[in-house]
Amino acid sequence: MTENEGKGFRMILTFCVMFLFWLLLSGIFDALHLTAGVLCSLIVAVISHDLLVVGKRNKTIVRSFRVLMYIPWELWQIVLANLDVAYRVLHPKMPIDPLIIEFDTTLRSDFALVTLANSITLTPGTITIGIKNGRFWVHAVAKEPAEALTVDGTMQQKVADAYMEW
């Protein structure tokens, strides 16, 4: 694959992702809004196609599919964490014991690290407060959500699988 073919593929993929995101956010499907979405997505694709899609074409397609498969799992974790936080807040004894944990991860790519950090922060009861050289600092509302990150490590493994960092 030549450089121009790779650039074209990255632009098309970035355009498609941006336009799909536009459609999801706007929810309006008249000609004016669809035209504005196409133009804005095209501008973003031309300017930043090399930021969203990096690497070889085949690996990018597989990785994109794997990341899309990660999203439903993360959404389910958000639902479960919401229930846990609601239980803690509504419980008469309020079993809240905030703490900050540190852990190292084997993830190395910027996208994988950011995905893990955002996944932690999106999950109620935990928030990423820092990352440096693969070391995370996370505030957790109680010991159990913290142990889910350090002992279980399922979220890290799911992100590693999504970005093929084995």
Tens digits of residue pLDDT in 100-140: 999 999 999 998 999 999 999 999 999 999 999 999 999 99
Give the model's pLDDT for residue 2: 58
Whether 98 and 40 share a structural domain: no
Asked if the structure places residue 143 within a domain, the reply is yes
Whether 22 and 98 share a structural domain: no
Asked if the structure places residue 22 within a domain, the reply is yes
Whether 76 and 123 share a structural domain: yes
Whether 79 and 129 share a structural domain: yes
50: confidence class by pLDDT, cuts 50, 70, 90: confident
What values do phi and psi take at 51, rounded to 5?
-90, -40
d(CA 67, CA 63): 6
1 has pLDDT over 60: no
56: confidence class by pLDDT, cuts 50, 70, 90: low
53: confidence class by pLDDT, cuts 50, 70, 90: low
Structural domains counted in the chain: 2
Asked if the structure places residue 33 within a domain, the reply is yes
Whether 23 and 72 share a structural domain: no
The boundaries of the domain holding residue 109 are 66-162
Calculate mean pLDDT across residues 15-29: 92
Asked if the structure places residue 60 within a domain, the reply is no
Whether 43 and 12 share a structural domain: yes
Whether 109 and 155 share a structural domain: yes
Asked if the structure places residue 61 within a domain, the reply is no
pTM for this prediction: 0.73
Whether 43 and 77 share a structural domain: no
d(CA 108, CA 94): 38
3 has pLDDT over 80: no
d(CA 66, CA 28): 29
- Matching residue, tokens 């900050």: 100
Whether 33 and 110 share a structural domain: no
Ranges 59-63, 87-91, 99-103: which has the least confidence: 59-63
Whether 33 and 86 share a structural domain: no
70: confidence class by pLDDT, cuts 50, 70, 90: very high
Give the model's pLDDT for residue 8: 84
- Matching residue, tokens 């997505």: 41
Q: Is 134 helix (H, G, I), strand (E, B) or coil?
A: coil
Calculate mean pLDDT across residues 69-73: 94
